[in-house]
Amino acid sequence: MGFASEFKQFALKGNVMDLAVGVIIGAAFGKIVDSAVNDLVMPVVGRALGNIDFANFFVALAAVPPGVPNTLEAVRKAGVPVFAWGNFVTVALNFAILAFIIFVMVKQINRLKREEPPAPPPPTPEDVQLLREIRDSLRK
Is the CATH number 1.10.287 carried by domain 3-52+84-139?
A: no
**Residue 67 in this model has a pLDDT that exceeds 80:** yes
* Neighbouring residues of 34: CB distance < 8 A, sequence distance ≥ 6: 94
For residue 39, give the DSSP letter. Answer: I
Task: Give per-residue pLDDT as tens, 84-110.
Answer: 898 888 888 888 888 888 888 888 877
Q: How far apart are CA 50 and CA 45, in angstroms?
A: 9
Nearest to 11 by CA among 1, 2, 23, 20: 20
pLDDT of res. 81: 92
Tell me the one-letter amino acid at 95: F
For residue 12, give the DSSP letter. Answer: T
Q: How far apart are CA 132 and CA 140, in angstroms?
A: 13
